[in-house]
């Protein structure tokens, strides 16, 4: 199943989930009405039949009250999670791993996560550690790939080997690709509403117990009924939660093995959980987090009916039938001398095809190649991106690529907007960009993004405005400048944490946006109108939208392209595959994919929430 099919199925599961929870709500409302009806029989004015009760003001107000309580619970939980993954990490008390890692174990985790980011073409998630948890567990959370956190327990850091940790991290990245994170966040919000019914019942029981008046007996009885019904509702919600979660765990395990090419690493991590320490969390939020986690976070009830994960033995058998505990496999790392090509190199089209490029979305490049690329990044730039100078790295990326004639203008813009101290930091980094391969530029930006997104809202706005001013200094927009600007905008804009809504199910609805996007690629990667027209037509024909002339170069502005990508991002997942394939067709017209074209392809793909692995290292 492809990335796009997984995305489409994730949206179908969301609809299924909403239907099931709606059914659970109806059952809870009906049960509470039944209790109120029974209590109301002693009142002379109360209706004496079930049907008349439901049709009366008594039934109406009862139903509205229950719905209001559940809605308030869901709204409260959802508001607490409005900040996405970072809000959830803060809620459970996880510690952000920012700047230089505190110890060797945290540094190992960071290296593994960054290698995974490079291999998949996705921004690195913000890293958090649950220091007080000895359990072996981890999870990712967020609303979309641009806003992701990864939380790992201290027990997992201390216990897992590098191979095991790589398998766990790859498993969690798979949840990012398959859009499981958004579903998990919605599950948590829905369960919060049902849980509030039970808590309301507990409160009424306390009122009835603490009062000696006879009239409060019914209040206590109602409280007991609400508590029981609410608890049963939570159980019903947990059954739904568990059933959905178990299937996704098998899929994430399989995807992780596809990346690491080392089933024994993931199998060993699962085996270690079963034989040393376990994965059950001590957190008060463990029940709510159960469907997020790599391993079972709470003890399964009802003979495993509420288990959010398949049995460990079944997971191991599915990925490594011949697994032998204790078997060690050496890291599969290619010799660093091979490199990734010279600055400005191009990948021959013989090894690439538009369809294969589109199909590689949501997959990983070879782990060995990703590790070589990671280890080849200049340590000073890597430390700056990870630490306190992510903005300086971002500005330096642009200034290092700025033509000499426009260099002075760009520097003056930076000085005016950020001051002399910022200029000094950027100048100190520039020498480390000498000899840096083009293929390493966007990966370096992806590694800086977690720290950029951690800035305050005012700081993020300042970075976006400064980048725009530096880019505008020469009056033109290069492929690389556009790629940087799009990626930064997708992460730092106020809308970054919002999930992309699907509004278009036909290419006819986005004809103009599709035309402008393909025209931008055609003009940017071709010399002369004839070549641009050939590239445009090659990409346009498969859509069967009729003839369309190539827009004039002056009509394909950066502003128009930004607007076009926003429209294309609202396409259904299965249609996005055709868009990525068409974009690849455009750049393949001349028989080669130049590094700057590959960067633009990655920026466009990320704008559509379709992470594209590096083309220089085919999966």
Listed in sequence order, the DSSP H helices in 211-322 are 216-260, 263-275, 286-289, 312-319
φ, ψ of residue 310 in degrees (nearest 5)? -65, 160
Instruction: Give me the residues paired with residue 142 across strands.
Output: 148
Write down the residue that tokens 């290292």 correspond to: 617
Radius of gyration of the chain (CA): 27
Measured distance CA(49)–CA(292) in Å, rounded: 45
Tell me the two tokens of residue 279: 């994965």
Q: Is 418 a catalytic residue?
A: no
In angstroms, rounded to a whole number, what is the distance separating the alpha carbons of residues 183 and 56? 37
Q: Is 140 helix (H, G, I), strand (E, B) or coil?
A: strand
541 CB-near residues (< 8 Å, 6+ apart): none
CB 413 within 8 Å of CB 469: yes
How many other β-carbons are positioned within 10 Å of the β-carbon of residue 45? 7
Q: Which residues pair with 525 in a beta bridge?
A: none
Angle between helices 595-607 and 479-492 (to 10 degrees): 30
Burial class of residue 434 (count of CB atoms within 10 Å of its CB; 0-12, 13-18, 19+): exposed
Report how far residue 173's alpha carbon sits from residue 142's, in angstroms, rounded to the nearest whole number: 12
Q: State both tokens at 170.
A: 């790859």
3-state SS, one letter per residue, for 439-506? HHHHHHHHHHHHHHHCCCHHHHHHHHHHHHHHHHCCCCCCHHHHHHHHHHHHHHCHHHHCCCCCCECC
Residues 261/332, Cβ–Cβ less than 8 Å: yes
CA neighbor of 11 nearest in space, from 172, 146, 182, 144? 182
Q: For residue 567, which of 608, 520, 619 has the smallest C-alpha distance?
A: 608
Q: With H, G, I as helix, E, B as strand and everything else as coil, classify residue 152.
A: strand
Active-site residue among 114, 147, 172, 489?
172
Residue with tokens 């398998």: 167
Q: Which two tokens stand for residue 62?
A: 């009862």
**E strands along 315-421, which residues?**
346-348
99: left (phi over 0), alpha (psi -120 to 50) or beta: left
Long-range CB contacts (within 8 A, 24+) of 459-463:
460/492, 460/493, 461/492, 462/417, 462/418, 463/391, 463/394, 463/488, 463/492
Catalytic residues: 172
């Amino acid at each position: 199943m492809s990335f796009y099919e997984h995305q489409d199925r994730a949206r179908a599961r969301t609809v299924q989930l909403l239907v099931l929870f709606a059914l659970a709500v109806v059952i809870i409302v009906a049960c509470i009405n039944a209790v109120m009806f029974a209590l109301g029989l002693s009142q002379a004015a109360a209706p004496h039949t079930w049907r008349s009760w439901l049709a009366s003001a008594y039934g109406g107000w009862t139903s509205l009250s229950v719905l209001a309580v559940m809605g308030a619970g869901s709204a409260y939980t959802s508001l607490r999670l409005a900040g996405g993954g970072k809000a959830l990490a803060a809620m459970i008390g996880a510690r952000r791993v920012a700047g230089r890692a505190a110890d060797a174990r945290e540094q190992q985790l960071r290296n593994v996560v960054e290698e995974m980011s490079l291999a998949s073409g996705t921004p690195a998630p913000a890293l958090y550690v649950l220091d007080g948890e000895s359990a072996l567990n981890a999870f990712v959370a967020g609303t979309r790939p641009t806003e992701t956190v990864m939380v790992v327990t201290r027990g997992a850091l201390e216990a897992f080997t590098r191979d095991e940790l790589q398998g766990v991290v790859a498993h969690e990245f798979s949840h990012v690709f398959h859009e499981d994170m958004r579903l998990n966040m919605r599950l948590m919000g829905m369960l919060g509403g049902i849980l509030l019914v039970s808590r309301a019942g507990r409160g009424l029981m306390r009122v009835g117990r603490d009062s000696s008046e006879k009239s409060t007996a019914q209040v206590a009885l109602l409280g007991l009924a609400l508590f029981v019904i609410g608890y049963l509702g939570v159980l019903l919600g947990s059954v739904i939660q568990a059933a959905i979660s178990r299937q996704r765990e098998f899929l994430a395990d399989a995807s992780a093995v596809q990346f690491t090419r080392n089933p024994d690493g993931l199998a060993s991590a699962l085996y270690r959980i079963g034989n040393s320490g376990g994965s059950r969390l001590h957190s008060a939020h463990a029940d709510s987090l159960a469907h997020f986690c790599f391993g079972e976070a709470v003890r399964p009830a009802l003979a495993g009916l509420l288990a959010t994960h398949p049995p460990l033995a079944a997971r191991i058998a599915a990925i490594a039938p011949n697994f032998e505990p204790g078997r060690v496999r050496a890291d599969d790392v290619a010799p660093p001398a091979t490199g990734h090509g010279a600055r400005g190199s191009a990948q021959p089209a013989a090894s690439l095809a538009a369809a294969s490029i589109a199909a590689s979305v949501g997959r990983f490049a070879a782990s060995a190649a990703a590790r070589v690329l990671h280890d080849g990044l200049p340590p000073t730039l890597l430390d700056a991106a990870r630490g306190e100078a992510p903005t300086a790295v971002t500005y330096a990326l642009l200034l290092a690529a700025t033509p000499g004639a426009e260099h002075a203008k760009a520097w003056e813009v930076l000085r005016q907007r950020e001051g002399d101290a910022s200029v000094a930091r950027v100048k100190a980094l520039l020498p480390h960009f000498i000899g840096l391969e083009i293929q390493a530029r966007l990966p370096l930006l992806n590694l800086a993004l977690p720290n950029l997104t951690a800035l305050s809202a005012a700081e993020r706005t300042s970075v976006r405005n400064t980048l725009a001013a530096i880019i505008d200094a020469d009056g033109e927009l290069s492929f690389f400048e556009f790629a940087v600007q799009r990626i930064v905008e997708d992460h730092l804009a106020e809308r970054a944490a919002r999930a992309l809504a699907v509004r278009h199910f036909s290419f006819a609805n986005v004809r103009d946006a599709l035309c402008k996007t393909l025209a931008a690629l055609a003009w940017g990667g071709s010399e002369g109108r004839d070549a641009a027209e050939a590239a445009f037509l090659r990409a346009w024909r498969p859509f069967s939208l009729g003839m369309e002339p190539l827009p004039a170069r002056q009509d394909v502005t950066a502003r128009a392209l930004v607007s076009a990508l926003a429209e294309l991002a609202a396409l259904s997942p299965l249609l996005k595959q055709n868009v990525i394939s068409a974009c690849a067709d455009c750049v393949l017209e001349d028989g080669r994919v130049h590094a700057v074209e590959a960067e633009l392809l990655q920026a466009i793909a990320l704008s559509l929430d379709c992470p594209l692995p590096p083309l220089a290292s085919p999966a």
